[in-house]
């Protein structure tokens, strides 16, 4: 009998879920009968454990320690409870608020967590129904909670789910960062090592939050950018990408005074099977096709999309030069537009260097140019809003992967709904002077210059290849990328200035271009992020094309 088989039988003894129990029973029977694929599947499911880190948990649904399931979630909840109970704090039990989206088992995992938290003696508050991730992030601060849990896998494939953790108090409702992640993981491991899920106390004594929490989020988000007067005739399209964004956004639009969009009806209601998209991520090819089809039908001025848990925002504008007539804006393009908006607001309010614009170090350096123009500070952080949201004096933050933080006093995380409201405000202002959404980009370029960004990725079968390439680049630093000489290299392996350590190399070229090389945090990929600034749009595109060719050689496999 193999180690994986032993582990599977031990797992069966504590699994409360009849679905995953039946799944595992079938696999064990097949493996016992000599089925090699079943044996390999068991080895994959039990050969390791889904790691808990700064992104919490995320993985495929299914039985086993390397999958998302009720056993793993309850162990995580018990470990988080132990962490909170061990932490010094005010008198009384810690408070945890729990949210969930429309993915498969999100509601089950959320209720399991609430019962485990309540059983541990915590005050557990479950949000009233499936809601966007930003509502949970808001609720942590609004309710004065010590922690928050959101059950979601965001824009991952349909078979995934996840467990994202936020901390209140001094962390101000932001996602966890070291050392909290490792400390929580250690508590979870101790629970898992005990191997006795039945011994974890559970209670139905958790609370269900009232609608007042959702109403407070709606009011705060509508105030981000109320409609500037009548917008009669404004036609736009919205898709929720089979997620949970529309119900909340619709209330905010009415409160803020914006006209209702034409909906992509096939994608409006939450559906964890995501039937119309292969990959529910607005960045993925084909994901926006139904939105563009709707936009052509209603002759829309622009398209707005949220990902399934509504923490990301995508925007598209008409463009006669591309197939289908619609062009999605890049995350950097939207990020710079919203950053310009934030800088203007901060300057109008009299903010100085104590206020800052922040983005991840792989996002456009154009944001620093905007900040400087308006007399604000700027910060480049490690990737992820757990870092961006902690930038000193932050009034706005973004990352190129469609994430935007436009109201840090309300939600200390990326928020695709408040970003949508801010974008609607920009478009409404442009319409008032006879301009379009696409004109906003030209306005930015005329004001700040022509920035262009790209990305080169190397996907590998053996992840050790990525480590060897990074080691080679450190041992033999490149003197040029393509035909452009390297001016200096920042190695973040041991931290740099105000940046914590990360496996990142940042190359500055003599023509002002930049290349950032880092392993992907979610896929077996090595990524190179490219940024250039040109004299014209055509010049920027030409520079970017040349840099892409050089970057492909830079990250080439051994």
Assign 418 to helix, strand or coil.
helix
The CA angle 548-339-390, to the nearest 5 degrees, is 95
Task: Supply 308's token pair.
Answer: 């399934």
Q: Is residue 413 within 8 Å of 133, Cβ to Cβ?
A: yes
In the numeric block, the tokens 């990737």 are attached to: 383
Question: In this structure, what are the phi and psi dihedrals at residue 109, rounded to the nearest 5 degrees?
Answer: -65, -35
Is 557 catalytic? The answer is: no
Q: Is residue 378 within 8 Å of 356, Cβ to Cβ?
A: yes
Cβ neighbors of 227 (< 8 A, separation 6 or more) are 256, 257, 258, 424, 425, 428
Q: Is residue 340 within 8 Å of 443, Cβ to Cβ?
A: no
Q: How far apart are CA 26 and CA 404, in angstroms?
A: 44
Q: What is the 3-state secondary structure (H, E, C) of 291-305?
A: HHHHHHHHCCCEEEE
- Neighbouring CB atoms inside 10 A of 47's CB total 15
Cβ neighbors of 197 (< 8 A, separation 6 or more) are 14, 15, 16, 71, 74, 75
Long-range Cβ pairs for the range 60-64 (8 Å, 24+): 60/159, 60/160, 61/104, 61/105, 61/159, 61/160, 61/161, 62/20, 62/23, 63/8, 63/11, 63/15, 63/17, 63/20, 63/21, 63/23, 63/24, 63/27, 64/8, 64/11, 64/24
Question: Rg of the chain over CA atoms, in angstroms?
Answer: 24
What is each CA distance from 392 to 169, 345, 376, in whole angstroms?
A: 17, 18, 12
Residues forming a β-bridge with 308:
none
Q: How far apart are CA 488 and CA 508, in angstroms?
A: 5
Q: Is residue 407 within 8 Å of 389, Cβ to Cβ?
A: no
241 sits in the region (left: phi over 0; alpha: psi -120 to 50; else beta) called left
What is each CA distance from 394 to 156, 355, 356, 399, 497, in whole angstroms?
A: 28, 6, 5, 14, 18
In the numeric block, the tokens 């595109």 are attached to: 541
Longest dimension (CA), the chain: 74
Assign 553 to helix, strand or coil.
helix
Q: Point out the catalytic residue in the list 65, 106, 154, 356.
A: 154
**Positions marked catalytic:** 154
């Amino acid at each position: 009998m193999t180690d994986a088989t032993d582990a599977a039988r031990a797992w069966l003894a504590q699994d409360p879920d009849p679905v995953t129990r039946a799944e595992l029973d079938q696999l064990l029977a097949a493996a016992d009968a000599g089925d090699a694929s079943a044996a390999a599947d068991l080895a994959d499911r039990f050969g390791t454990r889904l790691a808990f880190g700064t992104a919490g948990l995320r993985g495929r649904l299914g039985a086993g320690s390397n999958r998302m399931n009720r056993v793993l979630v309850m162990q995580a909840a018990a470990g988080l409870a132990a962490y909170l109970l061990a932490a010094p704090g005010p008198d009384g039990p810690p408070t945890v608020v729990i949210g969930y989206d429309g993915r498969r088992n999100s509601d089950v995992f959320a209720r399991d967590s609430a019962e485990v938290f309540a059983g541990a003696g915590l005050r557990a508050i479950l949000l009233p129904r499936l809601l966007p991730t930003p509502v949970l992030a808001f609720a942590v601060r609004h309710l004065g909670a010590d922690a928050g849990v959101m059950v979601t896998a965001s824009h991952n494939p349909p078979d995934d789910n996840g467990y994202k953790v936020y901390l209140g108090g001094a962390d101000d409702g932001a996602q966890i960062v070291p050392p909290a992640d490792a400390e929580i993981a250690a508590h979870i491991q101790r629970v898992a090592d005990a191997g006795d899920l039945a011994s974890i106390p559970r209670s139905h004594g958790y609370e269900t939050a009232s609608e007042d929490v959702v109403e407070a989020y709606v009011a705060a988000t509508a105030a981000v950018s109320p409609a500037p007067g009548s917008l009669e005739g404004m036609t736009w399209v919205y898709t929720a990408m089979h997620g949970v964004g529309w119900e909340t956004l619709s209330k905010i639009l009415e409160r803020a005074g914006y006209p209702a969009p034409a909906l992509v009806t096939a994608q409006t209601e939450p559906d964890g099977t995501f039937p119309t998209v292969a990959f529910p991520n607005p960045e993925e090819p084909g994901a926006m096709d139904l939105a563009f089809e709707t936009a052509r039908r209603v002759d829309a001025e622009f398209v707005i999309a949220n990902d399934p848990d509504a923490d990301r925002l995508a925007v598209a504008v008409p463009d006669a030069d591309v197939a289908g007539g619609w062009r999605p804006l890049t995350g950097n393009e939207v990020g710079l537009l919203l950053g310009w908006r934030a800088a203007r607001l901060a300057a109008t309010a009299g903010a100085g260097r104590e206020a800052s614009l922040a983005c991840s170090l792989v996002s456009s350096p154009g944001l620093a140019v905007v900040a400087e123009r308006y007399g604000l500070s700027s910060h480049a952080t490690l990737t992820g809003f757990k870092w961006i949201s902690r930038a000193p004096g932050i009034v706005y933050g973004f990352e190129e992967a469609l994430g935007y933080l436009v109201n840090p006093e309300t939600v200390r995380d990326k928020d695709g709904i408040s970003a949508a409201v801010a974008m609607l405000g920009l478009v409404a202002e442009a319409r008032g002077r006879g301009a379009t959404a696409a004109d906003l980009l030209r306005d930015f370029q005329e004001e700040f210059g022509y920035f262009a960004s790209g990305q080169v990725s190397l996907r590998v079968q053996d992840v050790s290849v990525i480590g060897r390439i990074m080691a080679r680049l450190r041992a033999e630093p490149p003197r040029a990328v393509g035909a452009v000489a390297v001016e200096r290299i920042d190695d973040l392996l041991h931290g740099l200035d105000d940046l914590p350590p990360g496996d990142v190399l940042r190359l500055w070229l003599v023509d002002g271009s930049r290349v950032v090389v880092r392993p992907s945090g979610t896929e077996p990929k090595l990524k190179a992020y490219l940024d250039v600034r040109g004299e014209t749009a055509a010049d920027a595109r030409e520079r970017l094309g040349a840099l892409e060719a050089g970057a492909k050689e830079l990250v080439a496999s051994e």
